Structure formats: C-alpha cells, structure tokens
A and B are shown apart, each in its own frame.
Chain A
C-alpha cells in the first residue's frame, strides 16, 4: 500500500508523518504521533471514546482519515491541561466529582465537554444531556459525568 507524507498540527506541535491514505486519524494519532490518550472503543463512530477537537469542534477520530485532517488544528486529551501542574477545569471537575472509573471513555468525554463548553459555557442542563449522550460510558452511570460537566461549566462561565 502506498504511503503519503502528511503534516498534522496536534496540541500546537507539528507532526510530519508518512502514512497510508486509508489510515484513520485515530490510528495515526496513536501509532504515528504517539498520542495514545485518544482511545478506540468501537471504530464505527458510536462510542465516542476517540473524540478529539478539530478546529475546536468535537469529532470522532475513528471516522476520519488522517489525510483529511491536514491543515486542521487538532487537540487531544494530552493537550487539554495548560501544563504538567495545572488541569483544565473539565479535568478538575471530573476528578472532584468522580466522573470516571476505568477511565477508558474519559478522554472522549473530556474532549466532548471541553469543546462544548469552550464554545459556549452557558448551556442548559437539557442541552448538556443531549450533547453528552453522544458518548458511551459503561462504569459511571453518567450521573457524575453530568455533575462534573455542569461544575466545569460554572467555573468556565466565571
């Protein structure tokens, strides 16, 4: 299979990789960029574990070819916190409110919540439930994910 050179911008860093055109963005992030925080739960676009931000919008990294992401500004869970000391408000809220257990779906939920709230932190509970229903979690029963997202929204509104 032929390989093509590709330049990706992820978390503000440039990644020059050579990949097959058929390779998904999620696989390239994980295998070629070494960013394994983005998880794969189904590879058919339902579970949302691979949710990342592309130009600020939450997307399923398993449903996109990496070559389609050329020129986009990509953000993964590794790029969510400002630095190694401080956490993003969404990360902090998930920690405080026990919004994760096994943690496998967590990066997807964090990116979904962060992308949503960074665009507009002033969302109704109904809107948040609707948006967060994009992703699946098998451990928490979702209640603490909603509580955490609402708490993060309150902090981000300030």
Chain B
C-alpha cells in the first residue's frame, strides 16, 4: 500500500511497465535466445577443474576436438583488478588456468562444437591431469603462518590476507574499557549465491567487414565489460560492442567481468566466427560468483542506561581464489568496515576487516553485499544487549538510533535526512508488541513457540565516484550520463549508461522525462545496455539507477525544456517565461495560443535557419550526475512460529516500514522491496553453498541449494515514509537492496525470540531446521544455557 495520494505528475504513479507486453508474449530477447536463433555459430563449452587446488600438468584431447587452452591465449592479459590501498594484494586471474588450478570449476579449456550437444560430447573427451595440492578452505587456518598459499603473492601481513582494513577512533580504547556493560557476539553467514533465474550466457558475433565483435552478454554493466575485455585483449574499445539484451536477473552476480567472456571474444576474433556459450545451472553454482561467507566478532560497549558508546568489530570475509573486476574482493570487507554502525549513533569505533583467500569460487557483490550480515550483527547485538542489560529491545534501539540529520558516523559516512525513529515507532505500533506478547504466552502454554523480531537499517544508495574513490579503486565507478534527444517528428529518445535488468527503468525514467517536457511517458523511448548506442556509464547495481540515472535524466529534461520553450516562444512571439509545456503542446500561459511539440521539433531540425543565432539545429542534450549518496532507511518486523519437533520455521507475518523518499513508480518500488525481502528470507533460512573437506562444492543443483517458493515467502505488508533529502535531485532514494539487507536480522531475532524460553539464540545464517533442532536438543539436555553469549551456531 502506498500512503501517497494520486499525484498530478507522472512521477508518483504506478504506471504499468512499458517493458512488459513483449516479455509477456515470449518476445523478449535473452542472450540464449540469440544463440538459439544463430544456426551458423559455434557453441562453446568450458572444461573446468575437478580439483580445488593443484598443479595443472596437461590438458589434452583427441585431434578432432576443437580445443582452446591457456597456450592459445598467450598474448591475452590476465584480469587484475586493483585498489591502491597498501594492504591490498593484487592477484592475477588468467583467462584459462595455466600451471595451477585454484578452485573446483575454474575454466581450463574451451571446446567448440557445431551444436551444443556436439560441444558437450567433445568436452567429455578432454583429459585434465592435475597433481593435487592441499586446498585452503578455512579462513581462520588460512591466515596462520604454516598455511598453504592460494597465490604465491607477497603478503604484507598474514598469509592469504589480501585486504586488511582498520579504523580506530581516538577514544575507543578508553571508552570501551570504561563502559558499564560489554556485550560480545559472533555472527556468521554461509556462502550464498545470487542465483538469477537466467544463468550466464554470451554470444560473440564477428563482423567480417569491420572486424568488430558484438558481444551480447548477461551483464549489469556493459560499458565496464567492454573496457575489461578490450584491456585484456589489448584492442581499442571500439573494436568491441557490448550489448546486454533482456537480462534474466543479476542481483550483483552479473556485475563482474567473466573470464569466459574474454576467452569467447578472443576466440571469435581469431576464428572469425560467431560463438555462443550458455552456462548450465551447475556451472553457475560452481563458477559464477559466490558471496557473503563472513564472520563478525562484534563488541558493543554500553552505558548503564543502554547508550552504545563504542563498537568494536573483527570482520573476516572468505573471498575465494580470485578478485572480481571491477569492484575487487575488497568489496565485502571494506563495505562492512565503513557501514557496520548503520543507523546507530556510536561515537567510538574500532574495526578490522579482512579479505582472506581460499580455494573456492571467487566472490562478487550480491544484493546488499555485506549489509545483510552487518545488519544481522547489529540487530542481534541489540537484542542480546537488551536481554543482558534488562532494557526493552525497542527502547534500546530508540535510544541509539540516529535522530538528527545530517549525521556523521565514526567512519566518516554522512546520513542525510532520514526517518529512523518514525519508522521504528510506526513498526512497533503496527506489530502491536503487547498483543503479540500475550499471544506468545498463550501459545507457549500449549507448547508452541512464537517469536517476533525487529531489524533497523540505513541503506546507503545512489553513491557516485566519491564513495568508490574512498575505497581507492583504480577503476572508480560512480557517475551516470544520459542523452535526451527529440527526433524531427517529435519522438523522444533517452539514452542511458545504466543497464536495467528487471527494474523497470524504461518506465520510471520515462515518467521523469514526461514531467519535465509535458509529454506522455509513452512517447519516451529509453535505450540502454548497448555500448554503441549509449553514453559511457557504470550500469545498474548498488541501488543506484533511479537516484543517479534518474537525477541525470531530470537534468537533461530540464535543459531540453529550456530549449523547447525558447523555440516555442520565438514561434509564438512571446516571453519564454510565459510558455508552459503540457500534453504535448507549448502554450502561452492563460491563452489558447499554442504550438505542438512536432511543430517545434520540425522547426529545430528542418527550419533551423529560423532559429535564434546562438541555437544549433536539432534538439538534444547530455546530462551528468555524480552524487555523494543518500541513505534509505527501513524497519523490518517478522513474526514466526518455530516447530520444535522438526526445527521448521514458518514466517507468519512480515512488515516493512520503509523510507525511500519520493517514489517515482510506487508499484515498481514495492516490487523491489518484496523481491528483496524474499531473497533476505532465503538468506536467513534456506540458502547455502556447501563445500566438502576436499573443496568440492556439493550444492550444485536446485535440489541442493534451496531458493524459496511461493509456499515459503509470506505476504509482505509495506508502509512508506517520505523523507525530503537534498542529496538526490529527484528526491528518490535507492531501494534495490533494502529488502535483502533488513530481512535476515528480523527473521533471526524472531526465531531467537521464539526459542528464548529454551535459552536458545541464533547468530548464523541460514538458520536451517537441522541447526534449530541441534540447538533445541543441546539446550534441553544441558541445564546451564545462556542466550547472552550469543555465539550459538
């Protein structure tokens, strides 16, 4: 439900999406569809390492097998993303493994066939000889002096440690030592997969005439992929065109350069042939990107009254065997380091955040990146502290939430106008805590375990280059550009550097343009995800597109409105200040004198000799936006019932009070929130990637890795608040990741609340039924149990 009245502007309306009719008819074009229609292309299959670590002795195949190995890629540069931090260790990712293999699923050869089946058959004939080495599979052992090394790098600190960030504020030691209460918990998360419904796929089309390759690929950042591939191949970027056609979900897992794509483009150029690669689901689990295998030791120092005066944290992320391009394997620990305090006012902060290598699939961002785990850590800390200090858990939050804006946190982040206290108060009221406690008591008397949990967070969104520069990224993402142009007939085209893949930007950006130019959004065609047709931009990720591309679009619209108004005033011989644009016409205010948009555009293009002297022919503009960033905020609340006999957790109610500022298209916003929460619930209760002791991934199908179905995801109640931030041109704050960020904390707090009569609390996600059963069993078998240590797994 939206709390906004039906607006008079296009912005604010739940317009049905322009994207949908084609998709609904099966007329969408996903990459695998391009491959299916190209009967002349060769099909590629990657042969992958069956071992986690070893020396690659030989890759061989019968003579008739068309195989590419590392030897064929001798002149191709490895992928080596970098941060200019002294603690950052750069490692190189070869396009195909040579000499050494570092995780199960690492590509060692590319095999071609005239059909997908022929390529698969040929790949079966490839023999890979590897001398096994002991794999590095545990981050705590990996940093010890005698650990084997994943890469033979020169580590400035502990072995296998590739990022080691620290912040300690001046008064931390004194304040934390003198605090009345110290609450310590350890929070952790299993490896997870973003698991978009569409696995990766690429189609490289070679044009004999120009020598150019058009790579259609499943990416969230086509321009960055082009830069990455061109740099690896040592070719001008213009030799390559990258298109992301319809993309079947990304959630971060499609914002990293794939070594498979580099191999494909290189081979297409060498063979002068079209090539296609369509990843299987098993490959997607093995060798697309993982995320979130993290451990947090968190220490909260509280005053007698419950004020959080100091926060300490030791954060370790197991980042796998290589660094993802462009954001690097620093993305998880460095985000956690900067953002752990979240929505809470804490003056003193000491944090160490490390990225540690392992012989596992590399990590990349996944919706929320570190924030689902960070938020889980802070929200479990609040509930555990509330119990330990004997303070109501919501009062403890209220006491510590940021209340004055802008608020500068201990890591230097500035939270702009938000609504933390209002959101918490509203959520508490709507969840009716007292009424719930009565139901909980009554249920417990019948042997049923009900729980209620809350989670507060601040979601940093829409941040430009300053935020990425603070991470010392050699390739520093951030800004977005758009080009907005009329054609002579009055049609409008908006070309954007952002790259939507389900977020409905073609609709919501058209709404922004429509308001600026007084036209129907249906006449605005939004062109995206094609490096030949759009200005350089960073793509869609990090809850950024509506804020940044949206802000640039608003600017472009305003600029074009000025030009249109000037020409119209000229045509109607009036003052430009008296011209208003509405319903596709320019009208002299208060009169019936008007000209249509096509009248104006015809003049701009076809009668340019009539334009004012300083006006150039045509009607177009380019605009740019590079904001510092804005924070959305929300409170999530969950009610659960835990079945003690099976360990099954059922979510019986889920409520969100969220503040994303101005909602350009409320239905799309709510879709983002609901989808995000479904992934957050999945992370909290179901999904984990499991490696065995030899480094084999054992969860390689959808029968092992368990995304929730409609049965598991509850109805979600959404309530909106609307802060007015001056940090975003459109007033919109990002909303793509919040659902996933807040849900695990609410769910784990609710499960822990349900089982608090047994003295059981949870700080590891996912909380699987087996884990619940183990905790209940050990709690009921021992008389000495404690919820306040919090380290239960």
Contact = CB atoms under 8 A, between A and B. Distances in A.
Interface string A66-110: 000000000011101100000100010011101011111111001
Contacts of B197: 39, 41, 47, 49, 102, 104-105, 136-139
B740 to A, nearest CB: 11
A91 B24 contact: yes
B343 interface: no
Nearest to B118: A1
Given A98-B671, A138-B196, A87 B21 contact: yes
Given A22-B117, A101-B675, A133-B709, A143 B21 contact: no
B155 interface: no
Interface string B536-547: 000000000000
Interface stretch (B73-81, B499-507, B574-582): B499-507
A91 B25 contact: yes
Interface string A19-63: 010110001001100111111111110110100000000000000
A77 B26 contact: yes
A44 B703 contact: yes
Name, among B23, B679, B703, B739, the residue most crowded by chain A CB atoms within 10 Å (CB to CB). B23
Interface stretch (B244-252, B292-300, B347-355): B244-252
B709 A136 contact: yes
B25 A104 contact: no
B26 A78 contact: yes
A65 interface: no
Contacts of B198: 39, 41, 102, 104
Interface stretch (B32-40, B87-95, B98-106): B32-40
A37 B249 contact: no
Interface stretch (B12-20, B474-482, B558-566): B12-20
A81 B196 CA distance: 27
Nearest to B22: A103
A151 interface: no
B25 A143 contact: no
A107 to B, nearest CB: 5
A129 B26 contact: no
Contacts of A101: 249, 502-504, 671, 675
Given A47-B197, A95-B16, A136-B197, A1 B24 contact: no
Interface string A114-158: 000000000000000110111111111111111000000000000
B702 A138 contact: no
B36 A106 contact: no
Given A47-B702, A49-B197, A141 B677 contact: yes
Interface residues of A, number: 58
Interface stretch (B223-231, B690-698, B710-718, B753-761): B710-718
Contacts of B19: 103
A103 B28 contact: yes
B13 to A, nearest CB: 13
Given A77-B25, A95-B21, A95-B24, A142 B667 contact: no
Contacts of B330: none
A85 to B, nearest CB: 11
B703 A106 contact: no
A100 B20 contact: yes
B663 to A, nearest CB: 13
B734 interface: no
Name, among A22, A81, A102, A144, the residue most crowded by chain B CB atoms within 10 Å (CB to CB). A102
B139 interface: no
Contact of A141 (B20, B199, B503, B675): B675
B280 interface: yes
B117 A138 contact: no
Contact of A129 (B117, B676, B710): B710
Name, among A31, A133, A136, A142, the residue most crowded by chain B CB atoms within 10 Å (CB to CB). A142
A108 to B, nearest CB: 9
A77 B25 CA distance: 6
A146 B715 CA distance: 10
A13 to B, nearest CB: 14
Contacts of A100: 20, 23-24
B674 A141 contact: yes
B702 A44 contact: yes
Nearest to A27: B116
Nearest to A134: B709
Contacts of A135: 709
B710 A146 contact: yes
A22 B29 CA distance: 26
Given A104-B198, A137-B197, A44 B713 contact: no
B24 A104 contact: no
B25 A133 contact: no
Given A133-B709, A136-B709, A104 B26 contact: no
B469 to A, nearest CB: 31
B685 to A, nearest CB: 14
A81 to B, nearest CB: 6
B701 interface: yes
Contacts of B199: 41
A38 B196 CA distance: 17
B195 interface: yes
Nearest to B28: A103
Contacts of B25: 37, 77-78, 80-81, 87, 91
B272 interface: no
A144 B674 contact: yes
Contact of B281 (A35, A43, A146): A43
Nearest to A129: B710
Given A39-B248, A46-B702, A106-B24, A132 B710 contact: yes
Contacts of A30: 32-33, 36
B701 A138 contact: no
Contacts of B281: 41-44, 47
B527 to A, nearest CB: 18
B21 A141 contact: no
Contacts of A35: 26
Given A34-B37, A46-B703, A102-B198, A107 B26 contact: yes
B707 interface: yes
A146 B667 CA distance: 15
Interface in B312-338: none
Given A95-B20, A141-B674, A142-B713, A40 B32 contact: yes
A37 B28 contact: yes
Contact of B249 (A44, A102, A110): A102
Interface of B: 14, 16-17, 19-21, 23-30, 32-33, 36-37, 116-117, 195-199, 246-249, 251, 280-281, 501-504, 667-668, 670-671, 674-679, 701-703, 707, 709-711, 713, 715-716, 739
14 contacts: A36-B30, A39-B248, A46-B701, A77-B25, A78-B25, A101-B502, A101-B675, A103-B24, A104-B197, A104-B198, A138-B675, A139-B671, A143-B716, A146-B710
* 6 residue pairs, one from A and one from B, having the closest CB atoms: A37-B26, A104-B248, A102-B502, A141-B678, A141-B674, A77-B26
Given A103-B246, A139-B249, 16 more contacts: A78-B25, A100-B23, A101-B675, A106-B23, A130-B711, A136-B197, A136-B709, A137-B197, A138-B195, A138-B675, A139-B671, A139-B675, A141-B675, A141-B739, A142-B678, A143-B674
Interface of A: 1, 20, 22-23, 27, 30-31, 34-44, 46-47, 49, 76-78, 80-81, 87, 91, 94-96, 98, 100-107, 110, 129-130, 132-146
